[in-house]
Amino acid sequence: MKEKMIIKAGKRQRDQLCKTETLSAGNLQKASEKKDDQSFLLHIKDKDSGGAVPQKLLQDEPMFDASYKLFCERIIRQRLLVNNEVLRMGQLRKAFIDMVKTNEGVDASNYRQDLLKKRLAQDFPQLAFHMPTKRNVCELVFAETLSKDALVVMLPDPSGTETTQSSELI
């Protein structure tokens, strides 16, 4: 192993370096696949770093998974990523609740907005979340590739009222 000298509490000390790559580049590859970042994926394709990837335990299927997949396809991928729209988290939550009701016949009105945001942030790292300075205005959600000029044009009603009905989102 290689060594590196670092300074701790004003004294030089040896710091052991260790190999951290894995066969599949771990989280970097996963994030690149979610973002569909072909430039990075081309660099790591068919590279063998000699590491091993531990197998993750399969988790239980998340709540309202079928409706969530449909919601992601229709609203997140199509509206936010392809059409470059800007929506509020409140609108997304309402649309998700309506989609669960329509597809699964279940009342999901107690599904928390922060859980939906966490799920979206995990599955779509290319989404940006912006919290306005006003406390009573919902967080904005948009594609991180959206230019500042386009963002200003696409901003929802500044009064904080929901301008797009959730039925229009679906």
pLDDT at 19: 60
- Average the pLDDT over 32-48 and give the result: 61
Q: For residues 36 and 40, what is the distance between their CA atoms, to the nearest angstrom?
A: 9
Supply the DSSP string of the chain, one letter for each residue: --EEEEEETTEEEEEE------TT-HHHHHHHHHHT-HHHHHHHTT---S--PPPPPPPPPPTTHHHHHHHIIIIIIIIIIIS---EEHHHHHHHHHHHHHHHH----TT--HHHHHHHHHHH-TTEEEE--SSTTSPPEEEETT--HHHHHHHPPPTT----S-HHHH-
Chain segment 114-162, per-residue pLDDT in tens: 999 999 999 999 999 988 888 788 899 999 888 888 877 777 665 545 4
pLDDT at 152: 78
Of the ranges 6-20, 58-72, 75-89, 128-142, which is most confident?
75-89
Residue 74's pLDDT band, with cuts at 50, 70 and 90, is: very high
pLDDT at 62: 67
Question: Between 12 and 163, where is the model more confident?
Answer: 12
